[in-house]
Structure 1
Amino acid sequence: MELLYYARLMRRHWPLLLLSLLAGTGVAFAVTTHATPRYVAGITMLVSADDREGSLSTALQAGALSQQRVQSYAALLTSRRVVGRIAGGEDVRDLQDAITASPIPNTNLLQVTVADSDPARAARRADALGSAFTRVIDEIERPTPKTPPTVRVTVVDNAEVPEVPVSPRPLVNLALGALIALFTVVGGIVLRDHLDTTVKTADALREIAGSSILGVIGYERDARRHPLILRGHGRSSRAEAFRSLRTNLQFIGVDRQPKSLVVTSCLPGEGKSSTSVNLAITMAQAGWRVILVDADLRRPSVPRYLGIEGGTGLTDVLIERARLHDVVQTWGQPGLSVLPSGRIPPNPSELLGSGGMRSVLAQLTEEYDMVIVDAPPLLPVTDAAALGAICDGALLVVRHGKTRREQVLRAGELLSSINARLVGTVLNFVPAKHGSYYGYGYGYDSADQETAPETPQTQAPLPV
């Protein structure tokens, strides 16, 4: 399951992965193009001990001595005493870094290489190093100036001018550049995913909220221009998602079926108003007697979604300036009843938590099969909490990839503190290709379902 999750995560970010491959390859190509080529020339030297007696015992001793000397000579080759003789006017330390000496295992042979940007100069320095080293060994291995040396070093293979540089290696550099860039981006994507605390799956939302998922609403391309599900005669996958939400609401409590439902969210912009409106339309299409109450007395948007007049409504009833039945409007066929918010008051929380609001809800639940209350977000203000305390249940709308887990936890704790019943959650704005959402082939794109259309929609009949 984890492997499948990360595979989907990489698939969602495939443009970034492709860009990283191109960038890594481009950088590696630029570095390779501007890198100075290095050539390596090498010589082979034989270390042999003096065996003047020719007996077997002296031969064995000479062989052992030679092998002992080979290990020491490998380090001596890069000493300042040896390298200084071929350095000329160059820095001895730089030349030491360009020389590599290593004994060939189980032999008395030394392999010496010299690296340089000029192939001919690398070969000359390697030969010069061999000559200088044989002279140094001849000096230090003489017991006295007049006796022969106990160990000799002989150059077996002279250096040849190299034709192919050992670096840079274009194919290797390009492959390494692409892999390093790819692994860096993959690591960044995985790290960002682990640090991201937003809700992105239905399973995560179910675990955090401690409540069932009643609906998963897709991310629709035309939601800003057409926020209602009536377009296309209600045959879109988004309309089907709301019908599924309606069906799930019928099974949330056989013995305690809610008749008043407050729809809210953690923060603004998560789609709670469009969910309220479309859920009410879907229930009306099924023959329910439904009334939609716009209880967002701070930023009401139901009138703009439905294209109705919202200047008189709930606030006028609560302050007893109008009667309830006089401000309820009918929208579409069969009729969906709508109670607009009315004028924005200076004290929304007090009005929504008042006894007048309880009386209004009690009267509406007697006359309708379902009362859907569009409430403000839970965390910024206390309006939704006040409504949740007097309604039969609360439906929490969570926006995919935006709402954070700690916000969902805080919203659940707030509802629990007032003994409000969280009947379920809705995961909104889910991408069409996401594992939590299964569409029917309709296109989806970014749109803010919470944003109402710029111009009011005209009343449209509801399909039977």
Structure 2
Amino acid sequence: MFRKDKHAYTSGPRQLIVEKEPKSPVSEQFRSIRTNIMYSSVDKEIKTVLFTSATPSAGKSTTAANVALTYAQSGKRTVLVDADLRRPTMHYTFELTNQRGLSTAIVNDMPVENILRETIIENLDVVTSGPIPPNPAELLSSKKMMHLLKTFSMHYDMVIIDTPPLLAVTDAQVLSRIADGTVLVTDVTGNNRERLQDAKALLEKADANILGVIMNNKKMNTKNDNYYYYYGSDES
């Protein structure tokens, strides 16, 4: 097993409702997403799941982080990889330094153990994006990136990957080819059916295994109150 950086974590994670309010209806919905992913394939084990969106501000990054947390809480050794090399957020979410990460591992052949970060959450490690490179798509489509994902998959029960929006750049489309499954996140308050269809077409063109769509900010009714499926985010 890898030796990981135990000193990069500064304080508690931000915006992780599954950690802050584990009994809330929203946290239960994230656990339902985890269960749906687990049972989405009968013949093939799903170990690497990519989260993306059609456009920015859909909440994909916070969704990916919370789903990763549910896997860790269930006892699965989980690594959350920030593969958004254009507008990364995981180092902010987990209050980590970002001088090194995915981009430095690819460019400099840095050992995997040098970019893995332990969190205070049991079973959950994080790989931040590292410095933003001038050529994200080229890095993510490289053989080194494919090797990194295979390495993570060998040493973890679950690999969650956060990527940029599909309609903005090709990064998510590139990675969806090698991930076991892809989840598309959309904010229903700004939902555009045509854009979702375009995003779906791009994933199909890449021969991605589309596991489903998460509808953010969808109002749900209960006997006692109304709540939102997802508490919202202003990140990409």
TM-score by length of 2: 0.88
Report the Cα offset of residue 431 of structure 1: 2.3
Listed as ranges, the matches of 1:41-440 within 5 Å are: 226-232=15-21, 234-433=22-221, 438=222
2:6 match: none
Q: Which residue of 2 aligns with 1:451?
A: 235
**How far off its partner does 1:335 sit?**
2.9
CA contact (8 A) 1:228 1:305 kept: no
Cα distance, 1:322 vs structure 2: 2.1
Distance 1:445 1:370 in 2: 24
* CA drift at 1:334: 1.4
Structure 1 residue 446: Cα displacement? 9.8
Q: Report percent identity of matched pairs.
A: 36
Look at both structures and tell me which one has the larger radius of gyration over its CA atoms. 1
Q: Secondary structure at the match of 2:108?
A: coil
Structure 1: segments with no counterpart, 5+ residues: 1-224, 453-464
Please list the CA deviations of residues 159-208 of structure 1 after superposition, one character each: whole Å capped at 9, or x if unmatched: xxxxxxxxxxxxxxxxxxxxxxxxxxxxxxxxxxxxxxxxxxxxxxxxxx
Aligned-residue offset at 1:403: 2.1
Give the structure, 1 or 2, with the largest relative contact order (CA under 8 Å, sep 6 or more): 2
Q: Secondary structure at the match of 2:118?
A: strand
Give the total of aligned pairs: 223
Q: Which runs of 4+ in 1 moved over 3 A?
A: 225-228, 438-448
- Larger helix proportion, structure 1 or 2? 1
* Structure 2, unpaired ranges of 5+: 1-13
Per the alignment, residue 129 of structure 1 pairs with none
Q: In structure 1, how many angstroms separate the alpha carbons of the residues matched to 2:159 and 2:227?
A: 32
AA aligned opposite 1:240: E
Does the CA-based 8 Å contact 2:81-2:128 persist in structure 1?
Answer: yes
SS of the residue 1:424 aligns to: strand
Q: Provide the alpha-carbon RMSD of the alignment.
A: 2.1
- Report the TM-score, using the length of structure 1 for normalisation: 0.46
Cα distance between partner residues in 1 of 2:136 and 2:15? 29
C-alpha distance in structure 1 between counterparts of 2:117 and 2:219, whole Å: 35
How big is the shift at 1:401?
2.6
Judged with a 3 Å threshold, the aligned counterparts in structure 2 of structure 1 residues 446 and 309 are, in CA distance, closer, same or farther, namely: same
